[in-house]
Chain A
Amino acid sequence: MVLTRLGSGLRTRPSRRTVSTAASALALCWFFGFSIADGASSVAAPGAIRGRVELRQPPADHEPRPNVADLGMHTSHGATDRRRSVVYLDPGPRAAFDARDEPHARMDQRNETFMPHVLTILAGSTVDFPNNDRTYHNVFSLSKTKTFDLGRYAAGRSKSVRFDKPGIVRVFCEIHSHMSAYILVFSHPYFAVTDDQGRYRIENVPPGTYTAIAWNEAMESQSRRITVADGGEADLDFSLSRQ
Chain B
Amino acid sequence: MIKILSLTALLWTLLPSAAAAQLLPSEPVRLFDGRVRLGGEVSATIGAKDDEAFFNYTDYERNTLRMFRIALSGVWQPAARVAFLGEVRSEDLEQPGAYAAYIRVRPWPNVPLDIQAGRIPPVFGAFGRRRYQSDQILIGYPLAYQYLTSIRADALPATADDLLRMRGRGWRSSFPVGSPEPTPGLPLISAFRWDTGVEATWSTPLFDTALSITSGTLGNPRLRDDNGGKQVAGRMAGRPATGLVIGGSAARGAWISDSVPHAAGSHAQTTLGADVEYSRDHWLVRSELVWSRWDVPFWTSPAEGSTIGALARWIEGRYRLTPRIFLAGRADWLSFSTLTGDMFGETPIAWEAPVRRLELGAGYSVQRNLVVRAGVQMNRRDGGRAEKRTFSSTQVVWWF
Contacts and interface: CB of A to CB of B under 8 A. Distances in A.
B242 A73 contact: no
A71 B121 contact: yes
A141 B106 contact: no
B39 A66 contact: yes
A180 B237 CA distance: 28
A73 B114 CA distance: 7
Contact of A68 (B22, B85, B208, B400): B85
Nearest to A153: B281
Q: Interface centre among B30, B106, B129, B323, by most A CB within 10 Å?
A: B323
5 contacts: A17-B22, A63-B34, A65-B400, A66-B74, A152-B281
Interface string A1-31: 0000000000011001101100000000000
A232 B242 CA distance: 54
Contacts of B75: 66, 68
Interface string B168-196: 00000000000000000000000000000
Interface string B7-22: 0000000000000011
A152 B30 contact: no
B25 A60 contact: no
A71 B210 contact: yes
Contacts of A67: 39, 73, 131-132
Given A65-B399, A136-B243, A151 B83 contact: no
Contacts of B49: none
Contacts of A152: 243, 279-282, 284
Nearest to B83: A73
B110 interface: no
A140 interface: yes
A70 B130 CA distance: 9
Interface in A145-165: 147-149, 151-155
Given A63-B34, A142-B368, A70 B324 contact: no
Interface string A195-217: 00000000000000000000000
Contacts of A17: 22
Contact of B129 (A60, A66, A69, A136): A69
Interface in B200-246: 201, 203, 205, 208, 210, 242-243
| B74, B75, B81: residue with the most chain A Cβ atoms closer than 10 Å | B75
A64 interface: yes
B100 interface: yes
Contact of B34 (A60, A140, A155): A60
A57 to B, nearest CB: 12
A172 B368 contact: yes
B86 A68 contact: yes
Given A66-B75, A71-B121, A154-B242, A12 B22 contact: yes
A45 B320 CA distance: 52
A72 B112 contact: yes
Counting chain A residues whose Cβ lies within 8 A of the other chain, the interface size class is 35 or more
Given A71-B121, A73-B114, 7 more contacts: A13-B25, A19-B22, A67-B131, A68-B99, A71-B201, A71-B203, A142-B368
A91 B38 CA distance: 41
Q: List the 3 closest pairs (A to B, CB-CB), nearest first.
A: A72-B114, A16-B22, A149-B323
Given A13-B22, A65-B399, A152-B281, A71 B324 contact: no
A66 B243 contact: no
A80 to B, nearest CB: 11
A155 B242 contact: yes
A172 B87 CA distance: 26
Q: How large is the interface on B (under 10, 10 to 19, 20 to 34, 35 or more residues)?
A: 35 or more
Contacts of A134: 205
A66 B281 contact: no
Contacts of A136: 242-243, 279
B289 to A, nearest CB: 21
Contact of B242 (A63, A66, A135): A135
Contacts of B74: 66
B92 to A, nearest CB: 21
B37 A68 contact: no
A65 B28 contact: yes
A12 B25 CA distance: 10
B365 interface: yes
Contacts of B284: 152
B221 to A, nearest CB: 14
Contacts of A50: none
Contact of B322 (A19, A61, A149): A149
A94 interface: no
Nearest to B128: A69
B279 to A, nearest CB: 5
B243 A71 contact: no
Given A12-B21, A65-B28, A66-B75, A71 B114 contact: yes
A60 B323 contact: no
A208 B201 CA distance: 64
A106 interface: no
Q: Report which residue of A16, A69, A141, A155 has the largest number of chain B beta carbons within 10 angstroms of its beta carbon.
A: A69
A68 B87 contact: yes
B23 interface: yes
B123 interface: yes
B32 to A, nearest CB: 11
A142 B282 contact: no
Interface in A90-147: 134-136, 140-142, 147
Nearest to A70: B121
Nearest to B280: A152
Interface string B124-139: 0000011110000000
B367 interface: yes
B203 A72 contact: yes
A17 B81 CA distance: 36
A148 B22 CA distance: 20
A206 B354 CA distance: 78
Given A140-B323, A155-B242, A66 B28 contact: yes
